[in-house]
Amino acid sequence: MAQIDDFKAQLIGGGARANQFKVTITPPAGIATGLDVRRASFLCKASTLPAFTIPEIAIPFRGRNIYVAGDRTFDEAWTTTFLNDTDFALRTSLELWQNGINDLAEGTGVVAAADYQTDLTVAQMDRDDTVLKTYIFRSAWPLSIAAIPLDAGSADAIEEFECTWRYQHFEASAVNF
């Protein structure tokens, strides 16, 4: 019969904590956004580690299906949630990034992907700020910046907003670095 001490011995480091993470948003090379990388890391309230799937391919054979592994997919975009401060600096930087891709007034923007895409990082941290696992989202850009709800009855909340990022692929530490 398993004992509680056996279980605790298997939970290395007491388990990874969902509130111990660091997101690094790096500004793109070809658009002046004024993004403060350190500040953006502090204001990131929530994020996710990426999901991925290896779908199945069904091969019919004499009235039955045989299943083989398909190509690995990661169709979900990556989402971050940021706290908004009173100077709107982070949100303005993200808006400038999107505007550099496609200007609302002129309909113009940078053309080369290298000018508006950049690498973004999320790191799972230990309680002593040791990096446990890192994911790098390659060639990313802000796909959408969510609305900030305004509510006169909300007297005890800080504004926050989501930014959804599209990326080409990701790399995980200890897997393919």
Domain ranges (residues) in the chain: 18-172
Cβ–Cβ under 8 Å, residues 170 and 51:
no
Give this prediction's pTM: 0.86
Q: Which pLDDT band, with edges at 50, 70 and 90, does 163 fall under?
A: very high
Which of 8, 13, 10 shows the shortest CA–CA distance to 130? 13
- 9: pLDDT strictly greater than 70: yes
Distances in Å between the alpha carbon of 147 and those of 20, 59, 104, 124, 144? 26, 45, 17, 27, 9
Q: What is the pLDDT of residues 16-47, one digit of tens each?
A: 888 999 999 999 999 999 999 999 999 999 99
Q: Can you tell me the distance from the alpha carbon of 54 to that of 68, in angstroms, rounded to the nearest whole number? A: 10
Q: What is the mean pLDDT of the chain?
A: 92
Both tokens assigned to 86: 């009173």
- 72: pLDDT strictly greater than 80: yes
- E-assigned strands of the chain? 21-25, 44-46, 56-61, 64-69, 78-83, 118-125, 131-145, 160-166, 169-172
Q: Give the pLDDT of residue 6.
A: 81
Q: Give the pLDDT of residue 176.
A: 58
Q: What is the pLDDT of residues 98-144, one digit of tens each?
A: 999 999 899 899 999 999 999 999 999 998 989 999 999 999 999 99
- 162: pLDDT strictly greater than 70: yes
CATH of domain 18-172: 2.30.110
